[in-house]
Amino acid sequence: MINQIVCKNDSFSAFKSAAIAITLLVMLTTSQILRAELPDFMSLVKESAPAVVNISTIKKIKEPGAFGFKTPKGEDIPEIFKPFFPSPGRVPSPRERVKPESLGSGFIISDDGYILTNYHVIKDAEKVLVRLNDRRELEAEVIGSDRRSDIALLKIAASDLPVVKLGSSADLQPGQWVLAIGSPFGFDHSVTAGIVSATGRALRSETYVPFIQTDVAINPGNSGGPLFNLAGEVVGINSQIYTRSGGFMGLSFAIPIDIAMNVVGQLREHGFVSRGWLGVIIQEVSKDLAESFGLEKAEGALVVKVLPGSPAEAGGLQEGDIILKFEGAPINLSADLPHKVGVVSPGNEAQLQIVRSGESMSLSLVIGTLPSEKALASKKPRSPGTAQANNPLDVLLEDLSSAQKEALNLSSGVLIKQIKDGVGARAGLIPGDVITMLNGTKIQSVSHLLEVIEAAPKNKSLPMRIVRRASPLFVPIKFDE
């Protein structure tokens, strides 16, 4: 009996040992598989880091002189103090204090000293200093910069420099591994890694850049540094973060390297950047607006304003048109359009697919040159005037006066003075709005608006174009039976 128990215990021990061995083997195999799937960044960093630089700027800050007041004649100043004061009738000159700041990062793109960084890193700098991987510090010349794309091209007097490998951002896909090297908070050559979260991301503050969104840890000082793929190629320039704390929160944005190198080529050749321009103000197409325009789904860029003298006007684009494709590329969101137009060289012809009054059609027009921001601002309509009105559609209305038309840069329209509960209120109309179009028909007067409303389909969303606080937009509106 005892022998049997012993045998049983021996069998159990053997089984237990085998189970442990199998478990360890599975754990080891799993660990090896996981290690095989995770990328090894060490060789990438060793090869690429020497071409990443720290960029600091020097700004001269003016401070008041020793005495911040005039001494017209000096008679009232005792003789003993006069040597300490400026000569009669003069004010002490302000003293200039040099303030160095470590602002960001950059990377060398040619062995003769061309360096790429962000425009906001070197903005307003009196002097730009570049610190290399071998601790040399050299003054850089700003070859050119472009605020709209946040790109700056620098040049240092050096040769045989290490350079990065430039890749392409065109094939980047969400989920790909990427790595950043930069100087967050002044800590040179810090390495962080993550994945691509999205591509073609539009930010409100930057119209002409389809950003790469990543979850790579980017902080102040990383700006201008390179974003690498696993092949060690630069695919982007780290530029912005979304944050409520001032630090990294998992949303980082990089300028695609294809966009950046297009800018670099123009800066090296001309010292400035030319961009394609349509000359329209556009709006997102919401679900309700899509229904009102007869679209199956919400897509495209809705034209709410065609600027006078623009390529869009010359090419026949109209307010209320919805641009669905530009040069064959689909426009899913309105923000997709500006950067697609921007990369087209001025003077080239472009093909647009649009929807007008529910009908699909194609337009061909010649792309113009994007004017300066000051010139664009002068084309925007000014604030509306005030007026009295009469009544349709549950709002108090009035025809625009000649002065109001001139102030708003409109040829016609109807001003909303007051509003009460009803159709207009449900559509989101407010006092001060100017109705310029309803269901594809330009509104000439109050009486004309009433006629259009009378003929309009009922219980169906219709597009109404208004001008609100000098900005045009479309709203969907539905009239009851």
Q: What is the CATH number of the domain that holds 363?
A: 2.30.42.10
* Residues 361 and 340 occupy one common structural domain: yes
**Cα separation, 444 vs 449, whole angstroms:** 7
* Residues 126 and 79 occupy one common structural domain: yes
**Cα separation, 42 vs 146, whole angstroms:** 34
Active-site positions read: 120, 150, 223
Q: Could you tell me which residues come within 8 angstroms of residue 60 by beta carbon, excluding any fewer than 6 positions away?
A: 96, 97, 98, 99, 126
* Residues 218 and 170 occupy one common structural domain: yes
* Residues 256 and 281 occupy one common structural domain: no
Answer whether residue 11 shows pLDDT above 70.
Answer: no
Residue type, 19: A
Q: Is residue 44 part of a domain?
A: no
pLDDT at 180: 97
Domain boundary residue, one of 103, 137, 156: 156
Q: Which domain holds residue 68?
A: 51-156
Q: Is residue 19 part of a domain?
A: no
Q: Is residue 25 part of a domain?
A: no
Token pair, residue 197, equals 């979260």
Residue with the bigger pLDDT between 480 and 118: it is 118
Answer whether residue 373 shows pLDDT above 70.
Answer: no
Of 12-26, 205-219, 357-371, give the lowest mean pLDDT range: 12-26
pLDDT at 137: 94
Answer whether residue 59 shows pLDDT above 70.
Answer: yes
* Residues 302 and 393 occupy one common structural domain: no
Burial class (CB in 10 A: 0-12, 13-18, 19+), 39: exposed
Of 59-73, 206-220, 436-450, 456-470, give the lowest mean pLDDT range: 59-73
* Residues 366 and 415 occupy one common structural domain: no
Tokens 């002490």 sit on residue: 92
Domain count, the chain: 4
pLDDT at 90: 47
Give the tens place of pLDDT for each residue, 314-352. Answer: 999 999 999 999 999 999 888 889 889 988 888 899 999
Answer whether residue 388 shows pLDDT above 70.
Answer: no
- Give me the residues paired with residue 165 across strands: 233
* Residues 207 and 148 occupy one common structural domain: no
| pTM attached to this predicted model | 0.67
Domain boundary residue, one of 378, 410, 441: 378
* Residues 96 and 141 occupy one common structural domain: yes
Is residue 474 within 8 Å of residue 304, measured between CB atoms?
yes
Q: Is residue 30 part of a domain?
A: no
pLDDT at 385: 34
Q: Could you tell me which residues come within 8 angstroms of residue 400 by beta carbon, excluding any fewer than 6 positions away?
A: 387, 408, 410, 412, 413, 414, 415, 434
pLDDT at 411: 85
* Residues 169 and 190 occupy one common structural domain: yes
The tally of CA atoms less than 13 A away on the side-chain side of residue 302 is: 27
Q: Is residue 36 part of a domain?
A: no
**Cα separation, 306 vs 295, whole angstroms:** 22
CB atoms within 10 A of CB 174: 12
Predicted confidence band of residue 50 (pLDDT cuts 50, 70, 90): very high
Q: Is residue 87 part of a domain?
A: yes
- Closest alpha carbon to 53 in 302, 224, 239, 218: 224
Give the tens place of pLDDT for each residue, 152-201. Answer: 999 999 999 999 999 999 999 999 999 999 999 989 999 999 999 999 88
Give the tens place of pLDDT for each residue, 125-151. Answer: 989 999 999 999 999 999 999 998 999
* Residues 462 and 373 occupy one common structural domain: no
Which DSSP string corresponds to 236-279?
EEEEEE--SSSS--S-EEEEEHHHHHHHHHHHHHHSS---EE--
CB atoms within 10 A of CB 342: 23
* Residues 418 and 329 occupy one common structural domain: no
Task: Specify the CATH number for the domain of residue 261.
Answer: 2.40.10.10
Q: Is residue 335 part of a domain?
A: yes
Domain boundary residue, one of 236, 270, 304: 270
Q: Is residue 136 part of a domain?
A: yes
Give the tens place of pLDDT for each residue, 200-231. Answer: 888 766 678 999 999 999 999 999 999 999 99
Alpha-carbon separation of residue 107 from 45, 56, 166, 178, 338 (angstroms): 13, 13, 11, 16, 28
* Residues 171 and 208 occupy one common structural domain: yes
